[in-house]
Amino acid sequence: MSNYLDDNLNQSVFLDVNFLDVLGENTFEFCLYTLVTHTLSLEQFDRCYRNTSVGRKAYPPALLLRVIFYAYYRGMTSSRSIERACKTDLTFMALASGRAPHFTTIADFVSSHDEAMKSLFHKVLMICCKSGLVGKEHFAIDGCKLPSDASKQWSGKHADLKRKSQKLRKSAQEIIDRHLSNDGGSGDDKAKHTQTVDTLLANADKIDEFLTHNEKRLGSGKHKREVQSNITDNESCKMDTSGGTIQGYNCQTVSDELYQIVIANECFGVGQDQSLLQPMVEAIKNSLGEEVFDDGVLLTADTGYSSEANMKYLFDQNINAVVPDTLYRQRDPRIANSENVKKHKDHRQKTRKDQRKTYAKIPASDFSFNKESLICVCPNGHEMMYHGDHFEINGRRYHRFKSYLKNCRACSIQSKCMKKPLKEHGRQVSFRVDGEDNHNYLDLMKQKIDSEQGRADYARRMWTIEPVFGNITSNKGINKLTLRGKAKVTCQWMMCCIMHNIEKLWRYGDISIMGA
């Protein structure tokens, strides 16, 4: 019979383990331990504890930070999973000094130190700068839309939520009436119906309470229209992504080109990027100093940030930025003259939508406009009605003229002059008021992006910011935020960015500057 060594897993053993030896020498774990324990100052975390004379001893912030950052490095965001790993995984046990913090301790630490985490992010960023990982030649801005711990089924405008509450109460009353018409039914049916009615009424009460204590949520646009609120997390928003509609946050991030170090980040409950350019530029200045753009640092962002207001802001701030409009590829001769584009245009010309676009329309330049007398005459010789100079387009005032309806009805060139059929009013034209700011900042940016240098600069955006999102969401698998509220979600995303920067510091930085 063969003679084998004993193979019994149902036994306990004593291990002679040195936790520092477990971490190794040139590993992410050792870099994390050295950085958090011996290099970073954690006084802002220390101020949160008030157990000097009373209360039990607390877990050191350095211990919890090591465990959480390593968990994020391994793609673990669940506090229960982190607690389990501290009991079963030797590396987690080493980073936790043999302790096993409860999952509520871990969850509370992540969600309650947003201000201290901002300070920690800045300190890690300064170490990256000292290690030569931040080139300060090109910054790229972009957003990563992630779902949070909020339900999109509980979203809607106030009127929609009110109708939903009424519908729930109506459904509950129908169940009660049906139950009464059946003379009460059996005991099991009665209990089931009662539970269903209680659930419906509880949900209706939840909606009514939210509507009572919360104002309508307004968007970030110029006209401040109402947007959908959310009962579970009213700071989140419903966003369309390539993976479908989600309820979550737009994680705005800025990275440096040299080693893709994250230099600024913040989460917003806004789906569109246009209103977020200026806050992120200010965040860059807060991280690296007000004079960071004085040396001509390049700033790139995709088409989602393109707007007249944003372009004016960039030009006024004298920032060397490249932000293309949505049609910039159609103007690129390398693309516009390709056979595939020509075939696509020919196919689109056959659609009804493109046929409507081909309707002729006489431009405003063909109208005769006298600036002194403020008289406008249409191409067919009819004088038009003046409506004043208080009309604004992209922040600039315009003179507006409207043709008399009777003149347009009898006009022989009406079909060529107006894009839409004649209904309530005649043709309208506008002319810019003299003395107004005649700079069209979108056109200035178009000239920049259409140049050879502009296209080359914008091409650098892809490899500057996208690897950050790829590393966090794909490599690490952190594709969902587990908290609610802008402050808590921003803190969690900031921890992901700190983990990303520490990994870059481990791979490419000078670890010798971190005293062990």
Residues 6+ apart with CB under 8 A from 326: 303, 306
Question: What is residue 416's predicted lDDT score, i.e. its pLDDT?
Answer: 81
State the average pLDDT over residues 392-414. Answer: 83
Gap between the Cα atoms of 90 and 96, Å rounded:
10
pLDDT band at residue 395, thresholds of 50, 70 and 90?
low
Residue 358 has pLDDT above 50, yes or no: no
Please work out, in degrees rounded to the nearest 5, the angle formed at the alpha carbon of residue 271 by the alpha carbons of 270 and 277: 70
Q: Which two tokens stand for residue 313?
A: 């802001």
CA neighbor of 511 nearest in space, from 42, 18, 33? 33
CA neighbor of 444 nearest in space, from 312, 348, 331? 312
491 in helix, strand or coil?
A: helix
Contact between residue 73 and residue 505 where contact means Cβ atoms under 8 Å apart: no
Longest Cα–Cα distance of the chain, Å, equals: 116
Each residue of 312-345: pLDDT tens digit? 999 999 999 999 998 888 888 877 777 777 777 7
Higher-scoring residue by pLDDT: 384, 180: 384
Residues 6+ apart with CB under 8 A from 413: 362, 379, 380
Residue 377 has pLDDT above 80, yes or no: yes
Residue 258 has pLDDT above 50, yes or no: yes
Q: Tokens 């509609």 identify what position? A: 245
Angle of helix 486-508 relative to helix 103-111, nearest 10 degrees, comes to 100
Mean pLDDT estimate for the chain: 87
Helix residue ranges, H only, 96-213: 103-111, 114-130, 158-181, 187-213
Gap between the Cα atoms of 377 and 379, Å rounded:
7
Share of the chain above pLDDT 90, in %: 47
Question: What is residue 54's predicted lDDT score, i.e. its pLDDT?
Answer: 76
Question: What is residue 221's predicted lDDT score, i.e. its pLDDT?
Answer: 67
Q: Which two tokens stand for residue 249?
A: 């946050």
pLDDT band at residue 515, thresholds of 50, 70 and 90?
low
Gap between the Cα atoms of 219 and 325, Å rounded:
22
Question: What is residue 147's predicted lDDT score, i.e. its pLDDT?
Answer: 93
Gap between the Cα atoms of 156 and 177, Å rounded:
29
User: Could you tell me the residue ranges of all domains in the chain?
Assistant: 19-135+491-513, 158-215, 357-439
The Cβ of residue 181 has, within 10 Å, a number of other Cβ atoms equal to 9
Each residue of 471-507: pLDDT tens digit? 999 999 999 999 999 999 999 999 999 999 999 999 9
Question: What is residue 243's predicted lDDT score, i.e. its pLDDT?
Answer: 83
Question: What is residue 435's predicted lDDT score, i.e. its pLDDT?
Answer: 62
pTM greater than 0.85 = no
Q: Which residues pair with 229 in a beta bridge?
A: 156
DSSP helix, strand, coil percent of the chain (3-state; round to 5): 50, 15, 40
> How large is the C-alpha radius of gyration of the chain?
31
Each residue of 49-80: pLDDT tens digit? 887 777 788 899 999 999 999 999 999 999 99
Higher-scoring residue by pLDDT: 21, 512: 21
The Cβ of residue 152 has, within 10 Å, a number of other Cβ atoms equal to 19
Higher-scoring residue by pLDDT: 394, 507: 507
pLDDT band at residue 185, thresholds of 50, 70 and 90?
low
Q: Tokens 């992630």 identify what position? A: 146
Q: Which residues pair with 383 in a beta bridge?
A: 377
Query: How far, in Å, are 128, 181, 352 from residue 132 at the CA level?
Result: 6, 79, 57
Q: Which residues pair with 246 in a beta bridge?
A: 239
Residue 442 has pLDDT above 80, yes or no: yes
State the average pLDDT over residues 277-301. Answer: 93
Question: What is residue 187's predicted lDDT score, i.e. its pLDDT?
Answer: 60
State the average pLDDT over residues 33-61. Answer: 87
Each residue of 199-227: pLDDT tens digit? 888 989 888 888 888 888 887 766 678 88
Angle of helix 277-288 relative to helix 114-130, nearest 10 degrees, comes to 60
The Cβ of residue 503 has, within 10 Å, a number of other Cβ atoms equal to 20
pLDDT band at residue 268, thresholds of 50, 70 and 90?
very high
Question: What is residue 222's predicted lDDT score, i.e. its pLDDT?
Answer: 67
Question: What is residue 473's predicted lDDT score, i.e. its pLDDT?
Answer: 94
Lowest model confidence (mean pLDDT) among 152-156, 391-395, 409-413, 507-511: 391-395
Higher-scoring residue by pLDDT: 106, 217: 106
Contact between residue 261 and residue 134 where contact means Cβ atoms under 8 Å apart: yes
